[in-house]
Structures are given as C-alpha cells and as structure tokens.
Amino acid sequence: MVFRYVGYWFGAHENPEYPQHGFGRNKVWSLESVNMRNQVVDLVFTLPQSEFERQYWPHNTQVKVLFTLSETLSLSIINTNLGDSHVSLTQALHSYFPIGDIHQLKATGFSDSKYIEFGQGPIKQPQDSVEFDRETDRVYTDLAPQQALHTPHGTILVSRENSQSAVLWNPWIDKSMRLSRFNSEDYLTMVCLEAANVLEDNVELAPGESHTLTTQIAWQ
C-alpha cells in the first residue's frame, strides 16, 4: 500500500499554471518524533516551512502527518492556521491498495451518496456497491464513514474521520498507458480509495484553528 498527501488544493487549481494536487506530495518531510507504547508505534512527520512554495501558497500554515502502526493503520493529517487571516483548503490522502484482480473487486459502502465523474454530476448512487469494468474516477460526497474493498484474498476496511468525501479511482487501460508511474497492466492489481476534504467538504480554518483528517485501514 502506498500513501501520498494531496494538500491545499485537490485536482486542478483554478490557475492553470499551478501544479496538479498542490505541492506537498512532492516534498521531503522531516521526522519529528517516534513514540513506542506496548505494540503501537506513533510516527510524526512535519512539512518544513522551507518546503512551502510561497508563490502557490502564501498563507502561514503548518501541516503534520501522524502514522499510528498497530494491528490497524491510522493516518492523520493535521493542518493548523498560524496566520491572522482565514484559510480555505482541500486535501486528500492518496491510498493505493493492491487488490489481486480488479475484475473480482467489489467496493461497498456507497449507498445514498453522490459523486462527480469526468465533470458530470453530482450523480446520486442508490446502490451500495461499485464494480469495475472501465476507467473509474469518482469524487464522492455525502458518504458514510466506512467503505470496504472486497478482494479475492480478503477485505480491506477504509474508515474516515472529519471527512464526508472520498475518491475512488482506477485508471483502466488507456490512462495507464499515459501515466509515467504505471506499467501497462498495473491497473489490474490496484485501486485507490482515499479519504478527502473536497468540494463542499472543504476545510475552513480561522486564525489559530486546526483540522485533522484521519483514515484508518484494517484487514479482515
């Protein structure tokens, strides 16, 4: 499983010269602390102020990530507004899961939600499950706090806190060929289900205020 942080804006910025998905995902983070307790390990990383690209993000903010490793995995992104003016941001935790065979994957936990896909929507989804036979690139809102990925080998449970939105993605055949980090058949063995604060679920921070986005991953 691979995580990447997409922070300060999700997707394309309204300014076409800004990088896709912000800048934090391509930066070197600093390990701030390690705490071991019983059979649990906490790792805290900070994005140094020197790594902020002020031409894209002029606000005085701090961002940290907390990994809690135990029988389950918990990942939290903590954004704090250190400035004296209001800040608005969107974010997502790109989580890439190995799933065995995309043709046998069923994702559940989506009933009565809505999504936008390829610029269309919002589309109401009454059914609970999603199966895959084409490129899927859905941004969900009004979403229950837990979804499940049913694979040929078991079930991955993906939960979220302080989030009512998520992204479900598989590039399928044609897009895989255009992605530099994908081999032509990688789409067969992966899916992305990521916790987010996007669209109307964006984060609004008053001066001095913090927000924590958490996702928890479990196997059963």
What is the pLDDT at residue 112?
A: 92
Joined together, the tokens standing for residue 121 give 């929507």
Q: How many residues in total does the chain contain?
A: 220
H or E segment and range at residue 178: helix 172-178
Q: Which domains does the chain have, with CATH numbers?
A: 2-219 (2.70.98.10)
Choose among 32, 33, 25: nearest CA to 2. Answer: 25
The tens digit of pLDDT for each residue in 29-72 reads 899 999 999 999 999 999 988 877 887 788 899 999 999 999 99
**β-bridge mates for residue 203, sequence order:** 89
Q: What does the alpha-carbon distance between residue 159 and residue 21 come to, in Å, rounded to a whole number? A: 22
- Write the single-letter amino acid at 19: P
What is the pLDDT at residue 177?
A: 83
DSSP symbol at 102: G
**β-bridge mates for residue 18, sequence order:** none
pTM equals 0.89
* Number of neighbouring beta carbons within 10 Å of residue 42: 15
What is the pLDDT at residue 204?
A: 94
Q: ω into residue 122 within 30 of 0, thus cis?
A: yes
Provide CB contacts within 8 A for 60, sequence distance 6+: 81, 82, 83
Residues of the chain falling short of pLDDT 70: 1-13, 15-16, 18-23
